[in-house]
Structure 1
Amino acid sequence: MRQRRAVLAATLAGAAALAACGTGGGGSGGRTELTVATFNEFGYEGLFEEYEAAHPNIEITHRKTGQAAPHHQNLITKLATGSGAADVEAVEEGFLSQVMAKSGKFHDLREIGPGDVATDRWLKWKVDAVTTKEGKLIGYGTDIGPLAMCYRTDLLGAAGLPTDPEGVRQMFATWDSYFAAGDRYVAAVGKPWFDAAAQIFNPMHNQAETGFFDRDDKLAIESNDDRKIWDQVTGAVARGQSARLVAWSKEWQDGFRQSAFATKTCPSWMLGVIEGNAGPEHAGKWAVTAAFPGGGGNWGGSYLTVPRQSEHAEEAAALAAWLTAPEQQIKAFVAKGTFPSQSAALASPRLLEKTSEYFGGQKVGALFAEQASKVAAAQYKGPQDGEIQDNVIAPALQAVEQGKSAEEGWAQAVEGAKKAAK
């Protein structure tokens, strides 16, 4: 799932408490109060203090949820009831299709945002994903999750596979070469190549020209490339390449420490997940390469939006614009590792010189900046896109990993997608 937000714990009780809060109003001392609702870690705490110091008339109240799902459930509820949304609401790309389906509930930032904020501040595909068919800009981009491949150098070496940068890049150049290397790995050591089928299917699906829906919001799962992708992934499962773990489960987390698999699809934010789960005993054994099968890809990232419920929409848009300026996004990256989506930030020496000792001292900032440049376009997402990926495709793939045939699993996926799309 897009549950990178699940790395930090949160309770639904906490989300309910947040839901009870109202929208921005009068702050203390006659200052304008702006509420900002986020989830997980955006790296904004220090930035809020900096903004308040530069704008004495503004008081910022931060509502912070640990997981993405409760945050977005709360947002959708507030949009439906017509009250209670924050002045600035963060939206994660995994839930963006739900928000875009309710675009009329949000301000067009081209209209109320600062006049000096041009859309070329961001990577084009980042802007395209949050622009409606009518040309309204619903959100300002925060971070992204450019994709690379992470791998265990020691495990690949023990299987006789390349571990040098050039050899690894060739091995991960295409999905065919990736699965072929997986066959070699399984044959050599008798252990799984990757963690879970859904963790492979999802980025492959997101690289396709057409997602679960076409641009007319018609279900396309039977006419796009998904059946071909399904056969590739489930074929690899049948050949022993999957560790058959459920992503974000305790077993999956333990799998990193137990060396249960040798490779991992790796958006920029996954580096911290790997380090936290694999533990210090595996420092220097994990590496990341500036290659991803099939070209570039993105997994993760968010936006700042301004709901029409805000009583201080222009002030909220000004704050959102400032938070998503290149200078502030670099500060957020340094604070919490959120990889920036701004073109100028991606060229910043502060980002390009960023290294990871856990990953052998690699310049991970430069590596992921290179990977971000390989993403050509944002795939169109229909209103039920996230529901299908998380609640239909993932369970169907898990069913195949647990013994159901690939054909039966595909039938389950198609039937579930049709029900979700009704």
Structure 2
Amino acid sequence: MLGASLAACGGGGSSSGDSGQIELTIGTFTEFGYENLITEYEQLHPNIKITHHKTGEGGPYHQNLITKLAAGSGLEDVAAVEEGHFSDIIDKSGKFNDLNEIGPKDVTADRWLPWKYEAGKDKDGRLIGYGTDIGPLALCYRKDLLAAAGLPSDPEGVKSLFSSWDSYFAAGQQYVRKTGGKAWFDASSQLYNSMVNQLDVGYLDRNDQLTIESNPGIKAAWNRITTAIGQGQSAKLTAFGNEWKTGFAQGAFATTVCPSWMLGVVKEDAGPDNAGKWAVTDAFPNGGGNWGGSYLTVPKQSKHPKEAAEFAAWLTAPEQQLKAFQAKGNFPSQVQDLSSPELLNQTDAYFGGAKVGQLYATQAQKVTKAQYKGPGDGQIQENVTTPALQAVEQGTAADQAWNQVVDGAKRIVK
């Protein structure tokens, strides 16, 4: 999941009245698909009343979460945390309950994909978060636009175009040339973040030391994406901004990175008039990766940590995460779901009837470990590299913008 602004939401403050009813709060951002599940849980547990604080974008949500952690009050009993910001939570893991201690004893590691489970631990091995969804990577593209440019357009035919970053950007050059300068992809930050997420080591190593100057893969990804910008391949849009959303409907670009949660975004922004024009393929440059996914945590501020952990454990059980996938497309991290006929047979008429369940299950199996995210990782992505790439798209020299990236990352990771 990506995410959100928590503002205006009241904090935890869970209580139990004279009736013995327990009041729990849960905070989420964007779409987790939990609305019906919360109602179901209340029906199964008449003594529990749940208030759902659901907000929009992830950046403000997580900033607000950190503020409430520092203040020592205001947090929900169950707080969702996106994987890109989970490093900031791990850095303050003492403020969260160890779910292995307070959670149901029948909730064990084998519920989740191994890399997802391991990434929910702090450095002392305490389980801070129950895994919700993941974001296995695929590519979405406009079939009609590729065909008009003389490129393969069916999901099997495009696999040769999308097999590596070299082939992807080579196809982009051909597309720009054949269409008289139309954009190949939507926003450079979307591609760059995917490239960095594929590296064995990201912006920080496991000692939380900044690697931005010593990690050649990061600079190689920067050079590759800024070269593509210079070739006119970028639509120069700000991901999730209004013009980006309009761009889907207007065919302003031919391809976009499509983690599983992006399918719903494409459908909403491109609109019903473009149904059948968009396709999704399980080919992804350099094999795939993961972008997104969240965890449910129980802050120590909670007055009912045991009940909160039981609720979080129930929400992240395979049965409930499958329902969340069916509701909003959030792809489960639970092993049992990846072989579920209900998931594997899930199709999407908007994308030409593609078997999206099978497709993303295949992509999920390609991810064998999670890249370590140190404190500040999400801030570097959102507040440093993204605006620097936008500056390149507006004419700033790539080398100059790279120096800004290095300086900005150093300010975050001191």
The TM-score, its normalising length taken from structure 1, stands at 0.94
Give runs of aligned pairs for residues 11-90 of structure 1, distance below 5 A: 15-19=6-10, 21-27=11-17, 29-90=19-80
In structure 2, the residue matched to 1:364 is 356
Residue 289 of structure 2 aligns with which residue? 297
Choose from 188, 191, 214 the match for 1:200: 191
Question: What is the CA distance between 1:55 and its match in structure 2?
Answer: 2.0
| 1:38 partner SS | strand
Structure 2 CA distance for aligned equivalents of residues 86 and 328 of structure 1: 21
Opposite residue 98 of structure 1, the aligned amino acid is D
Q: Deviations over 1:284-337 (max 9, x none)?
A: 111000111111211111111011111211111111111100001111112222
Matched, 1:221 2:212: yes
Does 2:367 match 1:375? Answer: yes
2:331 aligned partner: 339
| Range that drifts further, 124-133 or 176-185 | 124-133
Aligned partners of 2:109, 2:85: CA distance in 1, in Å? Answer: 22
CA contact (8 A) 1:139 1:303 kept: yes
Distance 1:347 1:97 in 2: 30
Which residue in 2 is equivalent to 1:119?
A: 109
Letter in 2 for 1:365: G
2:3 and 2:82 in contact (8 A); partners too = no
Distance across 1 between alignment mates of 2:45 and 2:196: 44
Deviations 1:324-374 (A, max 9, x none): 000011111122222111010121111111111111111111111111111
Kept in 2, the 8 Å contact 1:236–1:242? The answer is: yes
Alpha-carbon deviation of 1:28? 6.7
Give the 4+ runs in structure 1 shifted more than 3 A. Answer: none
- SS of 2:240's equivalent? coil
Q: 1:59 to 1:338 in 2, by over 3 A?
A: same
After superposition, the Cα gap between the structure-2 partners of 1:69 and 1:231, relative to the gap in structure 1 and judged at 3 Å, is closer
1:71 Cα deviation after fit: 2.6
TM-score of the aligned structures, taking structure 2 as reference length: 0.96
- Output the aligned Cα RMSD: 1.5
8 Å contact kept, 2:91–2:375: yes
The corresponding residue for 1:398 is: 390
- Where does residue 135 of structure 1 map in the other structure? 125
Asked if the contact 2:12/2:302 (under 8 Å) is kept, the reply is no
Counterpart of 1:9?
none
1:168 alignment partner in structure 2? 158
Is the contact made by 1:145 and 1:298 (CA closer than 8 Å) also made in structure 2?
yes
Aligned mates of 1:416, 1:388 — CA distance in 2: 8
Partner of 1:93: 83
Deviation, structure 1 residue 412: 1.4
Q: Does residue 5 of the first structure (1) align with residue 20 of the second (2)?
A: no
Structure 1 unaligned residues grouped into runs of 5+: 7-11
SS of 1:30's partner is coil
Task: Call closer, same or farther: CA 1:415–1:91 in 2, change over 3 Å.
Answer: same
Q: For the residues of structure 2 that align with 1:28 and 1:351, how far apart are their CA atoms?
A: 43
The 2-side partners of 1:249 and 1:84 are apart by 30
1:116–1:403 CA distance, 2 compared to 1 (3 A): same
Shift of 1:159: 1.2
Residue 27 of structure 1 and its aligned partner are, at CA, apart by: 4.4
CA displacement 1:200-223 (0-9 Å, x = unmatched): 100000100111111111110011
Where 2:66 maps in the other structure, the secondary structure is helix
Tell whether the 8 Å contact from 2:183 to 2:233 is kept in structure 1 after alignment: yes
2:278 paired with 1:286 = yes
Name the count of aligned residue pairs. Answer: 412
Query: Contact 2:140/2:280 (CA < 8 Å) preserved in 1?
Result: yes
Structure 1 contact 27–59 (Cα < 8 Å) conserved: no
Give the deviation of 1:24 after TM superposition: 1.4
Q: In structure 2, what residue type is equivalent to 1:355?
A: T
- Distance between the aligned counterparts of 1:110 and 1:140, measured in 2? 10
The alpha carbon displacement at 1:82 in A equals 1.4
Moved more, 146-155 or 404-413: 404-413
Q: Which moved more, 1:394-403 or 1:73-82?
A: 73-82
**C-alpha spacing 1:334/1:165, structure 2 compared with 1 (3 Å):** closer
